[in-house]
Amino acid sequence: MLFRPKTKVCLVLLQVMEIIEQIREEFPALHQQVWGKPLIYLDNAATTQKHCKVLELQERMSSFTNANIHRALHKLSADATDLYEAGREVVRLFLGAESREEIIFTSGATAALNLIATSLVRSYMTAGDKVLICEAEHHSNIVPWQLACEAFGRSVEVLQVEENGEISLERLSELLEADHRIRILAVSHISNVLGIINPVAEIVRIAHSKGVLVVIDGAQGVVHDKVSVKEMNCDFYVFSGHKIYAPTGIGVLYGKRSLLESMPPYMGGGDMVDSVSFSGTTYAPLPLKFEAGTPNFVAAACFKPALEFAAAVRDDVQVQEHEKRIVATMVEELQRIKGLKICGLPKDLSLKIPIFSLSIEGVHPSDIAQMLDKMGIAVRSGLMCAEPIVSRFSERGLLRVSFAPYNTIFECETFISKLKLVINMLL
Amino acid sequence: MIEIDQIRSIGEIEGEIVSEFSLFDEWLDKYEYLIGLGKELESINESDKTDDNLIRGCQSRVWLVCRNDGGRLWFGADSDAVITKGIISLLLKVYNGQKYDDIIASDFSFIEKIGLRENLSPTRANGLLSMIKQIKAYALAYKEKEAQQ
C-alpha cells in the first residue's frame, strides 16, 4: 500500500512525458542538431517553432490557393478569402470576442500597437492628456506611444512595478486618482522579461472606474494564460502570430467595436475604402477599415491550425501540470546557484509562467548565451527589447530562458546543469 | 613596452595564433583558452571608459582607445564580457605596434582560420566586427592626418 501513491505519480509522469513527446513530433524544427548537438530551443518568448499543420497549410495555400482576397469573382480568390476569414473566426473564438468586426489583422503586435497609439492619441486625447505605460513593457508598447504623444502634444507617464516584478494595484489607483489627465493605460498581460501574469481584469476595472481606456499587449499572455477579452473587459488586446506557433508577419488587434468605429483609419490604401474620389473618400466598414493593402492572407489563414493547437495544449490539464513542473524545477534549481537572481518572481508561484530572466553576479549574459549556443541550447541575452525594465535589474542586460509546451523536463535539467558548468568556467 | 625592432609582422603573429588554435580539438577548449586570455587582459583606465570610446552595436560593452607613436599604433581595449575580452586580447596581440598601412592592408582572416567566424557575422551583436572596423578606422584616420601634415 505504501508504494502505491509513488507508483501512481510515476505513471502520471510517464503519461505526461508521452504527451510532450507527441507534441514534439508535430514540430519539425525541434528535431535537428546545432553545432553537432541536439537542439534545445529555449527562446520561445522571442518566437515559437511552427506546428506541422501550420507549415502544411502555408505550403498548400501558397501553392494552390494563391489569389488576392476579397475583391475578385474567381474561385481561387473566393477560396483564399474563405481561408482568411476562417482564420479571423478562430482568432475571435480564441479571444472570446463578440464579433468578427472586432478582430483586425495586422503584421504583428507591434503594428497593432502603432495603429492603436496613432489613432487613439490623435482622436481620443486632447492636448495635455497623458498615457500611462507600465515600466515592464516591451519597446513595442512604449515607443509608439512616445512617437504619437510627441506628434500630437500629449505626454507619457510611467507605472513602476514592485521589486519582484509585480504590479501594485494600490500604486495604479493612486496614480490614476492623482492625475486626471491620464486617459489611456498601456500594459502587458505578461511581460516578456518578468514572466508574471498580471491581474489584467482587476487593472481594467480600476482604470475604467477612472474613465481610463486599457490597451493590453498580449504577445506573451495568449500563449500562457487563458484569454477572454469579454471577461477581461479590456478595450484593446494585441498579439503576434509568430509567438504562438503561427507564421511571422501576422498579428491581431482586438478592439471594442464602438471604439474601433470611432477611430480614424490608420493607413490608407486598397480594400479599406467604400468609395474614393478626389472630393472625398469614405471608408469600408470594420474590420476592413483598418486592413489597408493586401494582407498576409496565408499567415492569417494559418491562425486556424496554430490557435487550435494552442487552445488544445492550453486547456490540457497534463500540459498545464508539465508547465508548472518546469517552473517549479527552474525556481528551485536556479535559486541554489550562488549570485543568481531571477528577475520577476511573484509571491504566488502559480502566477509565474516559464519565462525566466536572470542576472548572475560577475558573469556577462552574452558570454553565457554564446557558450550555451555551442552546446545546442538556444537562449537570449541582452535587453530583450525592454530596456527600461532590464536596466533596472542589470546594466549588462539579462539572460532569458523561455519554455514552450514542447520543451521537456530533461531539456530543463540539461539547461540547468550546462548553465552551472558555464558559470564556473566564466567566473 | 615592446621594442619596435621586436615587433613581428602581422602575418607572422597571425600564423602563430592559428597554429596555437589548431591544437584544440574541442570548441570548449578554445573557449576556455579565450576566457583565460580575457581574464588576463589588462583593463584600461576607468577614465578611458567613456561614451566616445564605446563601440556601438555590441551586446557587451567594448571600449577601444588608440595612440599613435611615430606611425605605429598602440591599442588599449576592454569589455565587460570575458569572451569578448579574450578576442580583444588576440586582436591586440596582432595589431599592437603595427604600422597603420599594414593594419589597413590586413584582412583579419585569421579570425576565420581559428574557427571564430561565427563571431564575425555582422548580425552578431558581440561587437567583434565593430571592433575590427574601429581598428581600421583609427589606422585610416592617422594615415589621413599624416598626409595632411
A329-381 pLDDT tens trace:
999 999 999 999 999 999 999 999 999 999 999 999 999 999 999 999 999 99
The pLDDT, as a whole number, for residue B24 is 86
Q: Percentage of chain B surpassing pLDDT 70?
A: 88
The residue ranking higher by pLDDT, A205 or B109, is A205
ipTM above 0.85, yes or no: yes
pLDDT value for A222: 97
Chain B nearest C-alpha distance from A132 (Å): 29
For residue A423, is pLDDT > 70?
Answer: yes
Q: How many residues does chain A have?
A: 427
- CA A371 to each of CA A188, A333, A381, A421: distance values in angstroms, whole numbers, following the listed order: 31, 20, 12, 10
* Catalytic residue numbers of B, as ranges: 58
* pLDDT computed for residue A74 by the predictor: 95
Domain that holds residue B38: 7-148
- The reply to whether B50 falls in a domain is yes
- Cβ–Cβ contact A34 with B under 8 A: no
Number of domains in chain B: 1
Q: Above pLDDT 90, what percent of chain B? A: 54
Provide, as residue numbers in chain B, all residues whose Cβ is less than 8 Å from the Cβ of A425: 31-32, 35
Q: Hey, what CATH topology would domain A4-50+317-426 get?
A: Aspartate Aminotransferase, domain 1 (3.90.1150)
What distance in Å separates residue A418's CA from the closest CA in chain B? 12
Mean confidence (pLDDT) of chain A: 95
Q: Residue A368 and residue A422: Cα distance in Å, rounded?
A: 6
- pLDDT grade, residue B108 (50/70/90)? confident
Query: Residue B1 falls within a domain, yes or no?
Result: no
Each residue's pLDDT tens digit, A222-255? 999 999 999 999 999 999 999 999 999 999 999 9
CA A345/CA A358 separation, integer angstroms: 11
Distances (CA, A) of B147 to A25, B71, B74, B140: 65, 12, 20, 11
The pLDDT of residue B122: 55
Which CATH number is B25's domain given?
3.90.1010.10
> Which chain A residue shows the shortest CA-CA distance from B37?
A426
* Cα–Cα distance measured from residue B106 to residue B103, given in angstroms and rounded to the nearest whole number: 5
Q: Give contacts of A384 with chain B, Cβ < 8 Å.
A: none
pLDDT digits (tens, 9 = 90+) for A161-219: 999 999 999 999 999 999 999 999 999 999 999 999 999 999 999 999 999 999 999 99
pLDDT exceeding 70 applies to what percent of chain A?
A: 98
Contact predicate B104/B139, CB 8 Å: yes
Chain A (378-417) residues lying within 8 Å, Cβ to Cβ, of chain B: 381-382, 396-397
B21 within domain boundaries? yes
Who has greater pLDDT, A1 or A263? A263
The answer to whether A366 contacts B125, with C-beta atoms less than 8 Å apart, is yes
Determine the pLDDT at residue B111. 84
The reply to whether A343 belongs to the active site is no
CA A412/CA A327 separation, integer angstroms: 10
Question: Residue B63: CB partners within 8 Å, gap ≥ 6?
Answer: B44, B48, B49, B50, B53, B54, B55, B77, B78, B79
Distance CA A156, CA A385 (A): 18
Contact B66/B74 with Cβ under 8 angstroms? yes
Chain B CB contacts of A35 under 8 Å are 27
Indicate the pTM of the whole model.
0.93
User: For residue A421, what is the nearest residue in chain B, using CA coordinates?
Assistant: B28
Q: Where are the domains of chain A?
A: 4-50+317-426, 65-310
**Stretch A36-43: mean pLDDT:** 97
- The yes-or-no verdict on residue B112 having pLDDT over 90 is no
User: SS3 letters for B23-85?
Assistant: CCCCHHHHHHHHHHHHHHCCCCCHHHCCCCCECCCCCCCEEEEEEEECCEEEEEEEECCHHHH
Is residue B2 in some structural domain?
A: no
Question: For the domain bounded by A65-310, which CATH number is listed?
Answer: 3.40.640.10
Contact A374 B31 (CB under 8 A): yes
Under DSSP, the state recorded for A221 is: H
Q: Is a pLDDT exceeding 70 seen at residue A54? A: yes
CA closest to B124 among chain A residues:
A370
Query: What CA–CA distance (Å, rounded) separates A190 from A196?
Result: 5
pLDDT of residue A1: 45
Distance (Å) from the alpha carbon of A386 to chain B's nearest alpha carbon: 14
pLDDT score of A144 more than 90: yes
Residue A37, chain B, CB below 8 Å: the answer is no
Structure confidence by residue, pLDDT tens digits, A106-142: 999 999 999 999 999 999 999 999 999 999 999 999 9
A40: which 3 cell numbers?
534545445
The pLDDT tens digits for B52-75 are 998 876 678 889 999 999 889 999
- The confidence score (pLDDT) of residue B82 equals 92
